[in-house]
Each structure stands twice: as C-alpha cells, then as structure tokens.
Amino acid sequence: MDKELKKSRNTMKIKEFVLLLSTLLIINCAGTAPSVGEEMSSQESTESDTRVVEEEVKVETFTVQEPEAPPLPVTVFEPYMIKRGDYLIKIASREYGDSSMWREIYEWNKEEIGSDPNKIYPYNFLSLQREASKAKNCDLEFFDYQIQSGDTAWGLADEIYGDELAWVIIYMDNERLIRNNDGVLQPGTVFKMRKKLDPCS
C-alpha cells in the first residue's frame, strides 16, 4: 500500500514537472518567436515607416523668386539759366520742391561756382539733374543781327532781351568774333542772337 502511494506521488510530481516545463517553454517561445499575424503586422509597420521616411526625403524644394525691383529712372543733366535774385536754396526749392537739394546742385556745379556756393551770377548756367522722361527741349534758335555803329553788348542786351545783364549771353554766343576784335563790336559784324533767351524755360 505504501509503495503504491509513493509511486502515485512520484507520478504526480513528474506530471507537475512536465507541465511546469511545458509552460516555461510556451512562455519562452511566445517571447522569441512571434506568430504569423504578429510577423505580418511587424512587416507592414516597417514598410509604412520606410514609406514615411522616403516621403520626407522626397519633399520638393523650390526657390521663392523675389519680385524684380523697378528699373531706376534714366537721368540727364539739363542746363539751367541763373535768373536775377537766384541763390541755390531758391533754385532747389523751385526746381525740386526741396530746398535741401541745394547741396546736390552745388556738388554738380562746384567747378563752375567755385568755393563759395553763395556766389552765382545771372545768365550763367548750372547743370541740373532730371529724369530723362521729364527733360525739356533746350535746342537753341538764333537770328542774325548786324552790328551798328554805337552798339554795345549792354545796350543790345537791354534792347533785345530786356535786361542789360544779359550781355553775358551775347558774349557767350559770339565770343570768337568779340575776341578777334579785341572786345570791340565792329559795325557790320554779324552776331548770332537767341530767339529765346532761355531755351529751357
């Protein structure tokens, strides 16, 4: 009887050991060998991750083109005849609407004006910068005048142009003839006289 009981207990222990061993094997296998469904899910996840990476890498790049700046206006220099009572601030205010532009006018004409910007003289000329599209037609037109006995540059300037100080213009337009006659207006000499004193006005 005792022998049978011991044998039965041993058999039960062996069964328990086999059961325990089987359980351990199942647990270990579950951790290391995923099922077919898990394997497919893992593969799909990997492929999905790969596609995301590829899409991120393949993001198109493009350059933003800034709008082109409008071209700068073409500028030209136009002659300006100094009038009685003119000074640079007054000219800047009248011609540009900005009295502070007198500095630019002085810089453009420094060689002609000299070291003192306050010393400018009527019927001399300055160069003023303009947009080419706004530049005036400053073509000179002349008529012939034959010098008479007793004519002087001052008298002719007053008679023809209405201002004796405009003799500067007569001298400028006929300098070669006047120099050749030692500054004397010889009767019979033909001078060029402007139809319009200031062609740009």
Instruction: Sketch out the chain's domains with CATH numbers.
Output: 75-134 (3.10.350.10), 142-194 (3.10.350)
pTM summary value: 0.59
The rounded Cα 149 to chain-centroid distance in angstroms is 61
Between these two residues, 7 and 122, which has the higher pLDDT value?
122
Asked whether the predicted pLDDT for residue 36 surpasses 50, the reply is no
Residues contacting 28, CB < 8 A, separation 6+: none
Residues contacting 82, CB < 8 A, separation 6+: 91, 120, 121, 122, 123, 124, 125, 126
Residue listed under structure tokens 């060689």: 111
Asked whether the predicted pLDDT for residue 169 surpasses 90, the reply is yes
Task: Measure the N-to-C terminal CA separation of the chain; round to a whole number of Å.
Answer: 146
Residue 11: per-residue pLDDT:
65
Residue 68: per-residue pLDDT:
74
pLDDT of 9-32, one tens digit each?
666 666 666 566 666 555 555 554
